[in-house]
Structure formats: C-alpha cells, structure tokens
Amino acid sequence: MASRKLEDCSTPTRACLEEFELQLQGAGIAFVRSCTYRSSDEQNQLYAQGRSAPGLRVTNARGGQSLHNDTLYGEPCSNAADYYPLDGGKLLDNRTDAQVAIWEHLGQIAIACGLEWGGNWIGPLRDMPHVQLNRAAYLEWKAATQE
C-alpha cells in the first residue's frame, strides 16, 4: 500500500513538502496528501490503467521511472508526493474556472517551495496532484547519495 508519510521522503523533498504544506495552510487551501512513496509494483498497476487494465490513464511512468519509487541506499525513498485540494471536505475537481484557479494556486505554491508541479507538464497527461523535488535539487541529491 502506498505511503502518505513525509518520513518516507528524502530529506530535501521532505523539507520542501513541509514548507509547501505550511504555505497551503497559510493560503487557506485545505488539502489531503494522498501518496508519497509507492512501490514499483504499485506504480506498474497505475501504469496499466487505461492500457491493459480498466480505468483512466493516470501516469506515463512505469515502476522505477517515477520519483515516487526512488531508493536511498537500497531503502524505499520518495522524491514526490500527490496532493489534492479539498472543497467542503471533498476532493476538488478541475471542471470549473474557479476549481482550476485553486489548482493553479497550489502549483504556484509548490514551485515557490522548490518543487515541480505536474500540472505544468506538457502533453496529454497533466498530473495536477503531483509535486516532486525540482530537477536541480534532485540531481544534487542523487549525486550526494550515489550508492
């Protein structure tokens, strides 16, 4: 089962996510953190959706290709997380301009906290809930933790 714990994230990712959550709260955006680390098997199950399994496509990453399934010294470690803004305790959709504006605000906050936001990805699959350590910080972390 996928983790929701910040403790399952790398140190730089956890620091960015902690600041991100503080900034979301300060902006009055209620949210739920739905996933930090997920195994490669879980990632492959998500990848199969809309391809070889029923459901909508939700990812273009196979197991081991997502920053949700990173490792540190052979141990599970995430450099990504999924967040959903809430509206009256329910997950916010993105069908209206007002809903999209909240998602966009979430994305701006993520970027200001040193994260990349999947809502900015170009292509057929924007991943609005997804945030991950920005590329420069990720490469620095990887270089410092070469196994």
In the chain, the number of structural domains is 1
For residue 68, give its domain range: 6-144
pLDDT at 126 (0 to 100): 87
- Average model confidence (pLDDT) for the chain? 94
pTM: 0.93
Locate 131 and state its tokens. 């945030």
Whole-number Å distance between alpha carbons of 44 and 46: 5
Kindly report, residue by residue over 29-82, the tens digit of the pLDDT: 999 999 999 999 999 999 999 999 999 998 989 999 999 999 998 888 999 999
CA atoms within 13 A on the CB side of 88: 2
Give a yes or no: residue 51 inside a domain. yes
CATH number at residue 124: 3.30.1380.10
**What's the pLDDT band for 18 if we cut at 50, 70, 90?**
very high
Give a yes or no: residue 110 inside a domain. yes
Give a yes or no: residue 131 inside a domain. yes
Answer yes or no: is pLDDT of 147 > 80: no
Taking the CB of residue 139, how many other CB atoms lie within 10 A of it?
11
Give a yes or no: residue 1 inside a domain. no
